[in-house]
Structure 1
């Protein structure tokens, strides 16, 4: 099943993030993972013109037939980000959860991660703010 075709209670969050990512100019690629789409940045310095920078992922369940996922993670791998984009994403602390344990903002974690459980007004505002940052680098 295509990850964008799931119909969970949390799916509106996943779709909103995916739509805002595409509006910002990122490319989405489903790959082979049943719960993740990869995010790619157009980059003229890379051979095929695109560079992977992160992912959107359902979280909270490994077996969807037993339990639906309860959260959506929008993460960006620090090592794969252009410096300016990394700095701007680091400046956003709302909905941050770089690691499951410890402080929500953890500069030594592999990813800058934003995790959402519902599509509230605050979540929409944060997602739109992040998308505006992404659009400047896409």
Structure 2
């Protein structure tokens, strides 16, 4: 139900983040948009599509001529409790909240973690995010 069928080079990373999101208690849902899965904090929000807490998204290209090269795991600030927001804000590895400007920016709409490949470093940061989410889901 939640599989993105594109066979991009970074698809295993995308699927790993999706699986870790489920492990953290989030409810992933294919967004009927190319290359995006929406994340909800509970089943009720998923059912009525209210209060999306975040997304997992391919980035780098929307054209068939060039594959995407990033996976963005993004969390919507306004949908998070103050405690969860504070703990996610404290994770700075792989953060890139804006395209231009500082890596971390508390004034942007989302907290974004951008990953290029599945390796020990990305897996450690992803697990750190999961550990934080498990406290609040």
TM-score (normalizing by structure 2): 0.91
Distance 1:58 1:76, change over 3 A: same
Output aligned runs, 1:79-94, within 5 Å. 79-94=78-93
SS at match of 1:101: coil
Contact 1:41/1:50 (CA < 8 Å) preserved in 2? Answer: no
| Alignment partner, residue 27 of structure 1 | 27
| Alignment partner, residue 8 of structure 1 | 8
Alpha-carbon distance between aligned partners in 1 of 2:49 and 2:102, rounded to the nearest angstrom: 35
Contact 2:27/2:43 (CA < 8 Å) preserved in 1? Answer: no
Distance 1:136 1:44, change over 3 A: farther
Displacement of 1:51:
3.5
Q: Which runs of 5+ in 2 are unaligned?
A: none
| Alignment partner, residue 53 of structure 1 | 53
Q: Which runs of 5+ in 1 are unaligned?
A: none
Q: Deviations over 1:73-126 (max 9, x none)?
A: 000011111111101100000000000111101111110000000111010000
Distance 1:77 1:15, change over 3 A: same
SS at match of 1:4: coil
Output aligned runs, 1:1-138, within 5 Å. 4-42=4-42, 51-63=51-63, 65-138=64-137
Displacement of 1:3:
5.5
- Moved beyond 2 Å, runs of 4+: 47-51
Q: Deviations over 1:9-44 (max 9, x none)?
A: 111110110000001110001121111100000287
Question: In the comparison of the two structures, how many residue pairs are matched?
Answer: 136
Alpha-carbon distance between aligned partners in 1 of 2:36 and 2:49, rounded to the nearest angstrom: 22
